[in-house]
Amino acid sequence: MTTDTSDLCVQVLETIPSCDRISRLVKCFSNEFSRAPSFVVRCSGRVNIIGEHVDYCGYPVFPMAIEQTILLAIAPSNDNLLHIKNANNNFKPYKCNVLTFSIDVPSVGGPYWYQYVLCGVKGILDSTAIKHDAPRGMLIMLSGNIPPASGLSSSSAIVSATVLGTAYMHNATLHKQTLATISAECEKFIGTQGGGMDQAIAYLAQEGCAQLIDWNPLRATPIQLPSDAVFVIANSLSEANKAATSDFNQRVVECRLASRLLAKQMKLNWRDLNRFADLQKALGYSLEEMESLVNGNLSQNSYTRMELLKLLEVTEDDFSENLLTPNTRNSQSFKLRQRALHVFQEALRVQQFIETAKITSDDSVSRMKTLMRQSHESLRSLYECSHENLDRIVQISDQLGIGTRLTGAGWGGCVVALCDGLDESKRFVEALKNEFYANIPKAQGCDIATLCFATSPQRGAEIYLMDKQNNILSLSS
C-alpha cells in the first residue's frame, strides 16, 4: 500500500494519544474478524469556540479538536462487501456490497450510525477530485468516546475518519484540504446541509492551537490562545441530532433565502448569491453595513411562503424544488431578519475574538468572555437554537463571571465555557455538579468527569500503521 507522504509525519507509539483504546480496538477487531487490522484511523471531535451557524454562510469559524475521538480499525475483505461493526454491542452491525450500496436515511429518527460510515466510503469512491484504486470490500470496526448528539461533532468525525480510511485503503493521495472538502460534501448524502467546519478542523487541527477556519480556498490559521484561558465543555444531557429533524436545514434555508432576497432588492443576480459572504463581497460592504442593510430591508419578523413567492417572483414549483431542501419543502414561514442579524453579528464577534486573542493584555480573557456571552444570547433569541438545559448552564456561568455559549448546532448538546485560569475552571465544574447535574436524572450514577471537563487543542486526524513486528506507527493525514 502506497501513499503520497509529502506532508505526513511518523511518530512512535508512545506519542500517540489513546494508545490503550487503540490496543483494545485492535484486539476486538482481531477477535471479530480473525485477523489483525491493516491500520487504525483516529479522528477527534471538536468544540467550536465561537462562530456558530456562520460557516455555511461563508464566514470564518474558530474551532479546536478535543481529546474525545472516533477510532476506525480497517482491513481489506476477501469479498466485495463492507463489513461494518461497532465495538459497542449496543450498535447493530451492518454489511453491504461496496459496488451497489445506497444510503437510504429513514424519514423518522434520522440516520443509523453505520450510514455515517457509508457516507465516507461513498465520498471517496464517487470523488472525481482524487485518483483511487477500484472499489474493494473492507472490514471496519468503530470505537468512539465522543458523546453522540452532543454538539461535539461525533457524526462528522465518523464521516471524516471513514473518508481518510477509505482513501488510504484505495491508495488515494492524502491531502488534508481535499479530504476535508470531500468529507463536508459527502455528509450531504444523509441530508445535512453543513458548511464544512467540522470536517476542516478534523484534518487541519494542530496541537496547542485553535484554528481560524476560512473558506474559498479552505485554509486554517493557528491562533495561540491566552495562557490563562481554560476551556471547559459541559454536556447538557439533552441530545440533538441535526440530521434527524428539519430544524438545522430550516436555518440554512432561511439564510439562503435572506441572502437571495437582499440580493434581489439590491438588483443583483440573486440566484447566484445564496451565501451572505458572497453577497457582502458583491456589494463591497463591511459587516456593520450588512447589518444595517438587514435592518433597513428585512422589516418583517416572519415571511410567509406566499409573500416570498411574490417578492422573489418565482413559481411554487421553482421555490420548492430550487430554493428549499427536501426536508423543508413543507415549510410555510421563514424568519429571515433574525437569522441574518445573527450571522452578521456573529461573524463580527469572530473577528473581535481573534483580534483580542492576538493582543496580550490584562483584560483579554474578560473581553473574550463577553463575546461568548453575546454569542449565546444571539443563538438563543435570534437563531432560536438553544435549549432550556443549555440556558440553565449559561445562567450558572453568568453568576460565576464565566463566558459560556452553546457549541455545535444547538437544540441540546454541549456548552463551551471560557474560564480565567485553572482555579476558576475547577469552581465552575464543582458548581455545575451541585447546581445542574444534581438535578438532572440522566446524570445520576454518571462520572461527572465524562460530562464536564477541561480540554486543550489536539492534533488532526491520523493513521496508525502496524509494521511487521506488530508495532504501531502514526502517519498523520
Catalytic residue numbers read 198
CA 111, CA 105: separation in Å to the nearest integer? 5
CA 441, CA 36: separation in Å to the nearest integer? 41
> Are residues 87 and 80 in contact, defined by beta-carbon separation less than 8 angstroms?
no
The total number of residues shown for the chain amounts to 477
CA 195, CA 57: separation in Å to the nearest integer? 7
- Which residue's entry shows cell 481573534? 354
Cell of 181: 472538502
Query: Helix (H, G, I), strand (E, B), or coil: what is residue 313?
Result: coil
Query: Helix (H, G, I), strand (E, B), or coil: what is residue 418?
Result: strand
CA 425, CA 353: separation in Å to the nearest integer? 20
CA 141, CA 119: separation in Å to the nearest integer? 15
Query: Helix (H, G, I), strand (E, B), or coil: what is residue 59?
Result: coil
Single-letter amino acid, residue 158: I
Q: Give the list of residues 6+ apart from residue 149 with CB closer than 8 angstroms, or none.
A: 239, 240, 241, 412, 413
> Are residues 452 and 437 in contact, defined by beta-carbon separation less than 8 angstroms?
yes
**Dmax of the chain from CA atoms?**
70
Q: Are strands 210-214 and 229-235 parallel, antiparallel or unpaired?
A: unpaired
- Containing 334, the helix (H) or strand (E) segment is strand 333-334
Q: Give the list of residues 6+ apart from residue 236 with CB closer than 8 angstroms, or none.
A: 387, 389, 390, 392, 393, 412, 413, 414, 415
